[in-house]
Amino acid sequence: MGKLNVTILRYLTGEDFRVLTAIEMGMKNHELVPASLAAQIANLRYGGVQKLLKELCRHRLLSYERGKNYDGYRLTNTGYDYLALKVLARRGTVTSFGNQIGVGKESNIYIVANDEGESICLKLHRLGRTCFRNIKSKRDYHQHRKSASWLYLSRIAATREYAYMKALYDRGFPVPKPIDFNRHCVVMELVEGGPLCGVYKVGNVGLLYDELMNLIVKLGNHGVIHSDFNEFNIMITNSGKPILIDFPQMISTEHVEAAAYFERDVKCVRDFFKRRFGYESELYPTFHDISREDYIDVETKASGITKQIKDFLKEMDMVEVEDEETEDECSENANEEDRSTDENEINVQLQVENSVRSEFMCTSKETLVNAKVNEKKD
Which residues sit at the interface with Mg ion, rule CB under 5 A?
233, 246
Distance from C-alpha of 312 to C-alpha of 148, rounded to nearest angstrom: 12
Q: Please report how the helices 258-277 and 205-221 are oriented relative to each other, as an axis angle in degrees rounded to 10.
A: 170
Residue 180 touching ligand ADP (CB under 6 A): no
> Shortest Cβ contact with ligand ADP: which residue?
104
- The nearer residue to ligand ADP, 67 or 194, going by C-beta atoms, is 194
Residue 268 touching ligand ADP (CB under 6 A): no
Residue 250 touching ligand ADP (CB under 6 A): no
- How many residues comprise the chain? 378
- The nearer residue to Mg ion, 52 or 245, going by C-beta atoms, is 245
The kind and range of the H/E element at 7 are helix 7-11
Distance from C-alpha of 277 to C-alpha of 72, rounded to nearest angstrom: 56
Give the one entry of ligand ADP, Mg ion, none that residue 31 binds, where binding means its C-beta sits below a cut-off of 5 to 8 angstroms depending on kind: none
Quote the least distance from Cβ 66 to ligand ADP, whole Å.
33
Residue 153 touching ligand ADP (CB under 6 A): no
DSSP letters, 183-237, are TTEEEEEPPSEEEGGG----S-HHHHHHHHHHHHHHHHHTTEE-S--STTSEEEE
Quote the least distance from Cβ 364 to ligand ADP, whole Å.
10
Quote the least distance from Cβ 285 to ligand ADP, whole Å.
23
Distance from C-alpha of 251 to C-alpha of 297, rounded to nearest angstrom: 8
- Write down the catalytic residue from 81, 180, 228, 297: 228
Please, what is the Cα angle at 229 between 226 and 234, to 5 degrees?
A: 115
Residue 106 touching ligand ADP (CB under 6 A): yes
Binding ligand ADP (rule: CB under 6 A), the pick from 75, 121, 208, 217 is 121
Give the one entry of ligand ADP, Mg ion, none that residue 290 binds, where binding means its C-beta sits below a cut-off of 5 to 8 angstroms depending on kind: none
Residue 224 touching ligand ADP (CB under 6 A): no
Give the one entry of Mg ion, ligand ADP, none that residue 102 binds, where binding means its C-beta sits below a cut-off of 5 to 8 angstroms depending on kind: ligand ADP
Give the one entry of ligand ADP, Mg ion, none that residue 109 binds, where binding means its C-beta sits below a cut-off of 5 to 8 angstroms depending on kind: ligand ADP
> Whole-angstrom distance between the N-terminal and C-terminal Cα of the chain?
38
Residue 123 touching ligand ADP (CB under 6 A): yes
Quote the least distance from Cβ 293 to Mg ion, whole Å.
28
Residue 227 touching ligand ADP (CB under 6 A): no
Quote the least distance from Cβ 192 to ligand ADP, whole Å.
8
Is the CB of residue 354 less than 8 Å from the CB of residue 376? no
Give the one entry of Mg ion, ligand ADP, none that residue 191 binds, where binding means its C-beta sits below a cut-off of 5 to 8 angstroms depending on kind: ligand ADP
Distance from C-alpha of 37 to C-alpha of 53, rounded to nearest angstrom: 12
- The nearer residue to ligand ADP, 80 or 295, going by C-beta atoms, is 80
- The nearer residue to ligand ADP, 122 or 318, going by C-beta atoms, is 122
Distance from C-alpha of 15 to C-alpha of 373, rounded to nearest angstrom: 44
Is the CB of residue 176 less than 8 Å from the CB of residue 190? yes
Binding footprint of ligand ADP, residue count (CB under 6 A):
18
Backbone angles phi, psi at 277, to 5 degrees: -115, 0
Cite the DSSP H helix spans in 231-339. 258-277, 296-302, 305-316, 324-335
Tell me which residue of 120, 117, 118 sits closest to 109, measured CA to CA.
Answer: 120
- The nearer residue to ligand ADP, 174 or 195, going by C-beta atoms, is 195
- The nearer residue to ligand ADP, 235 or 258, going by C-beta atoms, is 235
Quote the least distance from Cβ 227 to ligand ADP, whole Å.
12
228 flagged as catalytic? yes
The kind and range of the H/E element at 356 are helix 343-359
* Beta carbons within 8 Å of 95's beta carbon, 6+ residues apart: 89, 112, 113, 114, 115
* Residues with catalytic roles: 228
Binding site for ligand ADP (CB under 6 A): 101-102, 104, 106-107, 109, 121, 123, 176, 188-191, 195, 232-233, 245-246
